Structure 1
Amino acid sequence: MRSLNYAKTHFVTSAPDISHLPSDTGVEVAFAGRSNAGKSSALNALTQQKSLARTSKTPGRTQLINLFEVEENCRLVDLPGYGYAEVPEAVKRKWQKSLGEYLQKRESLKGLIVLMDIRHPLKDLDQQMIDWAVAVGLPILLLLTKSDKLASGAQKQQLNMVKEAILPFQGDITVANFSSLKKQGLEQLKQKLNEWFSQTES
């Protein structure tokens, strides 16, 4: 299995929708989550870069699909945050459409990371993302973020609850607690990414 150096990750481009993305080759892994789930912090922790993904004071500012390259043919994709943002309904619908399109039509997409605040997991839109991914046979890593906000007993409880709750989806889904502050779950994230990126060689 390959072991990539995520510290080398650099920004490539932002696109409003799938038609503006670079060619559909190599391997992509996408990060998705509600606007306040800590997606940018997770990307920054993974790449050891303070501002690779901009953490916004106003969640939901990122309305574009942001593409980062780890190395040739290996890309991380930061999908627009969903849910929380105070934007017009029409804009929200447009986001959902481009998210759905990306998940269902992008050939190079080999894995999806869904980030959820450990205190409020599996909201409707999270479940919709999981549904979409399972429907197209994408493996999923669910990261329960901000786990440092709970005591270890409560963390375990939430982890087990989520594991139980996702059984009906019947997909290839892994769940892990994650804290970008305490670097908890970071090794698990890297391992999963390495596994997915190793598919470039097959």
Structure 2
Amino acid sequence: MKIIFGFLATILIVSLAPFSYASDPSPLQDFCVAVSDSASAVFVNGKFCKNPNMVVADDFFLPGLNKPGNTSNAVGSRVTPVNVNQLPGLNTLGISAVRIDYAPYGLNPPHTHPRATEILVVLEGTLYVGFVTSNPANPAMKNKLFTKYLNPGDVFVFPEGLIHFQFNVGKTNAVAFAGLSSQNPGVITIANAVFGSDPPINPVVLTKAFQVEKNVIDYLQAQFWSNIG
């Protein structure tokens, strides 16, 4: 019986092991304020830790998130991030935030956060939002799209790593805030990454992937791709 129990326990631990890396590691101290000083003794989550005796309240403070972002760009939106790179006190805490401003008919283009789930709250305007599931197990099925129209006070969740977007369907500006389950969630904007990489992806790869003529790929790669966040 002990052998069977031990075997089952081992199987359970092995099956759960991957989930221990599904989010930022839990801190083993009250805080680890990030600094760029390589002489610091502790290096946690990609950042050096400030001497705890030197930590001050401003290490956990960032003003100005009430100010609208500049949406004068090709997609008509602006993401203002609050992650460990802007707020050093977030280091090891496993959380961050963003403010997103949308011009009328502005779009936060399809993108992913490889390290975080996102929860979005609409403050102003009406957004059409959605996310697409990963490749289904059945090859005959398509990736499923989940969408919703959001008004002020509405909340929507985008699961970690899945492609998602927000589109302002109104004639006025829109504003949303979002929390993310990582101190540095990362962002991959699909069009930018595929067509605007440096150096460019070989057009042969993209023509086969998208099943289009090379002139289409040439045109897309020739566009000016820039990040909005």
TM-score normalised by structure 1 residue count: 0.23
The higher radius of gyration belongs to 2
Higher relative contact order (CA 8 A, sep 6+): 1
Higher fraction of helix: 1
